[in-house]
Amino acid sequence: MNKELGDAVSRIADSLSPLGAVARIVAEGCAARLEMRRLTLEGKQIEAEQLERTARIDNRQANVTEILQTMRREVAKGERNAKKYRDCFTNLQRDYLRPGATTMEKEMSASLMRDMADILSGSHTRDGGVLTGHIHEVLNGAGALDPRQSSSRQGAPKQRSAGRRAGTASAVAERS
């Protein structure tokens, strides 16, 4: 029993002195009931805090799982698109080097290969930025301030104007 509680029991026992020897027992019993009530409430508060922490952890785990699944889907999609561009690039290279290819065919193949290289490079840069954003969410929690956003897109890739062909090729690959 702490000093404060012991003093309170003594004062209450004095107030109950007409009960004689039972006064101290009644005062200590009352003090024990009050202490048990206080401990029970404290235990419930600790339990509620623990449940809240567990719920936050469960929610965070669900968010991280969702982010990781999104990352996997985006990486797979990016790889599929990159493979399509690489296949196109290989075909154009073959056309360019094909014996008997006309000058026009070679110029078109060369132009499209440059466009495909630019599109593929831009796609990798963009996909890398998206993945970096997801990694930031996993490490710092959704809604955390992303330091990349404060630079007002300084590092955004600059694509040269590839004309209508590149835009069409990019749109086809993105829909896939």
Q: What is the pLDDT of residues 86-118, one digit of tens each?
A: 999 999 999 999 999 999 999 999 999 999 899
Domain boundaries defined on the chain: 3-175
Q: What is the mean pLDDT of residues 50-55?
A: 95
Q: What is the mean pLDDT of residues 38-65?
A: 94
d(Cα 10, Cα 28) in Å, to the nearest integer? Answer: 9
Reply yes or no on whether the pLDDT at 170 is more than 50.
Answer: no
Q: What is the mean pLDDT of residues 166-175?
A: 43
d(Cα 107, Cα 103) in Å, to the nearest integer? Answer: 6
d(Cα 112, Cα 94) in Å, to the nearest integer? Answer: 12
Is pTM beyond 0.85? Reply is no
pLDDT of residue 41: 95
Which of 125-137 are b and which e, b meaning 16 or more Cβ less than 10 Å from the residue's Cβ?
eebeeeeeebebb
Q: How confident is the prediction for the chain on average, in pLDDT?
A: 80
Reply yes or no on whether the pLDDT at 150 is more than 80.
Answer: no
Q: How many helices (DSSP H) and strands (DSSP E) are in the chain?
A: 4, 0
pLDDT of residue 169: 44
What's the pLDDT band for 164 if we cut at 50, 70, 90? very low
Radius of gyration of the chain (CA): 36
58 or 133, higher pLDDT:
58
